[in-house]
Structures are given as structure tokens and as C-alpha cells.
Amino acid sequence: MSIVHACALSHQLISFSGADKLSYLHGQITQDINKLTNNNYLWAGHCSAKGKLWGVFKLFSHQDHYYLIGSKAEVECSLAELKKYAVFAKVDINVAPQRLIGLISDDFTELLTQLNIEFAAQDTACDFSHGKALKLTGNRLLLMVDEQFNLPDNVVTLENDMLWQQAAILAGEPQLNEQAIGEYVPQMVNLQAIDGISFKKGCYAGQETVARMKYLGKNKRAMYIVSGQSDGLLTELDLERQLGENWRRAGKLISQSFNEQTKTLTGLVVLPNDTDVTQVLRAKHTPSVELNILPLPYSLEDE
């Protein structure tokens, strides 16, 4: 029997309710919300008018509400921007009170039975008695649960969500830390590669910039996964690459996680999209920390 690890997630939820919730949210994010059903979740970006990301979110529905899941920094920024224009629509936008729990395992069969969660063949989301379950990858589930929910005794609870964050990074899932907010166009963090951008949906904030990146080939950057040995998380996020005998600025980590058992730092960084993936990067302010570029689990090639 495979062990299931669980952790309380540091992510937060934004909820949308009211008669205009669909039309309002549709006009704010990069995703076509009409593709959303009760049995799937979608990736979506929320941009400024200039097309720079306030946040990258998982979007799903539950009991007549829409929800966005993002990091604390992303939620705080996007919530403020979303509320600016909500006064003109019949929509209520709030930080939701439900808890978020991350589950990691090679086999969820027994746990799903215990919790009475059943995903149909192609579904990535489903309701259950205490909330909503999202199937992110084969080895990760995300639960949104109410106050009455308790995990079974055979689940191993982790002290923090660093292992979960590491798995998300290795899956190439974009997430913005505080310094990265407002800095990148969606394609620079590979949002198109995980079907987080609709190029046919019509107008939304920042659409002109996002479309220009696709159709005029203006985007010259992409997000990469990096990993290496370290003594902990980096407090200074700048990375360098070697050019001859000198080191030059490469980019900044937009997300990072540290595995205390293996002393491994894993992160996401935006680099030129023609970067030589065999080169080694180093932390500018901690040069002893060298980071290798790992393969992305998806293609960046346009269809």
C-alpha cells in the first residue's frame, strides 16, 4: 500500500458569486470560462492592462461559485484589482474561507474510497461530501474542504507544504512570488503550454499584448525548472549564467522550494527562450549554489 502524504497549503482561494460572475470573470482572465464544467479545472492568468501577470491560478466551480487558487501574493494582488471594477457588475468577490489540502502519493485508490471521491475517466475535478477534489497529476490531488473535514488516520501529515511546492515546480506549474508579480506576460511563464490562454475568447484585460506575443512572435522568454544543492531557500533571487570567464545576469527565481531531507533547492526562473539548457546557473549572492536546468514536462512549441 502506497503512503499518502498530506499538507495544509499556503495557497489561498478567491470566490466569485452573483448573477454576473461568469461574464465578469470571463472578461478578466486569459481562460475561456465557457470551457469550465463541474468536472474539470483550468489554468488561467489575470493580467494588467499592459498584459503583465498579477497572478496564475487554477480555476474551478463548486456549488454556484467560481474559485481561483493562487499563492498568497497572487491572491492579494489580483483580489484588489478584481474588486476595482466589480462595482459595475452583480458579482461578489471574496477570499474564501475553505481549507486547501495537498495530497501526494503513487496510489490514491484506498484514500479515494475512504473519502468517497470518484473521478470519471477523463475528469480532473469532482464534488464530494466535504468540498471539491482536483486531480492535478497522477501523484497529486488538491482538496478544498469545509471545517468538518478530517483526513483518515492512515494519511501522513507533513509539517509544511515544501514537498508539495517542489512537486508543483517539477511539474512546470507557474506560480509568482511577490517580486515576480506584474513582471511577466503569460507566455513568459509557459501559460500557453498548459492550456491557460484562450486566443479565441474575445476581450479581456491585457489581451492585446498576449495576442501580439503569439501572432507576431514577440515573446523571447520562457520559464525553466532549475534544481541544485543548497543549505536553504534563497533570500536573494537573482541567478547568473557564465559567459566565458565572466558571469552575467540570467533572471530571478519566480518560485522556489527547499527539500530539507535531500538539501535540494528547486525553482522556476524566466530565461531567454533560446537558453542552452546544458549550462549551469548560480545564485548571484550565494555563488556556491549552482543550479541545473531540468527538462520541462511539456512542449513549448506552438501548435
C-alpha cell at 286: 550565494
164 and 79 housed in the same domain: yes
Please tell me the total count of domains within the chain. 2
66 and 148 housed in the same domain: yes
Distant-in-sequence, close-in-space partners of 56: CB < 8 Å, separation ≥ 6 = 43, 44, 45, 46, 70, 74, 174, 175, 176, 186, 189, 191, 196
In a domain, 302, yes or no: no
In a domain, 201, yes or no: no
Sheet holding 156-157, edge to edge: 125-128, 131-137, 140-145, 99-104, 5-8, 156-157
76 and 167 housed in the same domain: yes
165 and 248 housed in the same domain: no
DSSP 90: S
Neighbours of 178 (CB within 10 A): 11
How much of the chain is helix, strand and coil, in % rounded to 5?
A: 20, 35, 45
DSSP 289: -
159 and 237 housed in the same domain: no
161 and 225 housed in the same domain: no
Sheet holding 12-17, edge to edge: 42-47, 53-62, 65-70, 12-17, 92-95
101 φ, ψ (degrees, to nearest 5): -125, 130
Distant-in-sequence, close-in-space partners of 303: CB < 8 Å, separation ≥ 6 = none
Q: What is the CATH number of the domain that holds 77?
A: 3.30.70.1400
107 and 256 housed in the same domain: no
Question: Considering 136, 171, 206, which residue would you say is the last residue of a domain?
Answer: 171
Q: Specify the pTM.
A: 0.95
Q: List per-residue pLDDT tens for the chain, 303 residues long.
A: 589 999 999 999 999 999 999 999 999 999 999 999 999 999 999 999 999 999 999 999 999 999 999 999 999 999 999 999 898 899 999 999 999 999 999 999 999 999 999 999 899 999 999 999 999 999 999 999 999 999 999 999 999 999 999 999 999 999 999 999 999 999 999 999 999 999 998 899 999 999 999 988 888 999 999 999 999 999 999 999 988 888 999 999 999 999 999 999 999 999 999 899 999 999 999 999 999 999 999 999 865
150 and 232 housed in the same domain: no
Q: What is the pLDDT of residue 218?
A: 83
14 and 123 housed in the same domain: yes
Question: Considering 102, 137, 171, which residue would you say is the last residue of a domain?
Answer: 171
Residue with cell 472578461: 27
127 and 256 housed in the same domain: no
Percent of the chain whose pLDDT exceeds 70? 99
In a domain, 74, yes or no: yes
In a domain, 207, yes or no: no
* Domain ranges, residue 65: 4-171
158 and 60 housed in the same domain: yes
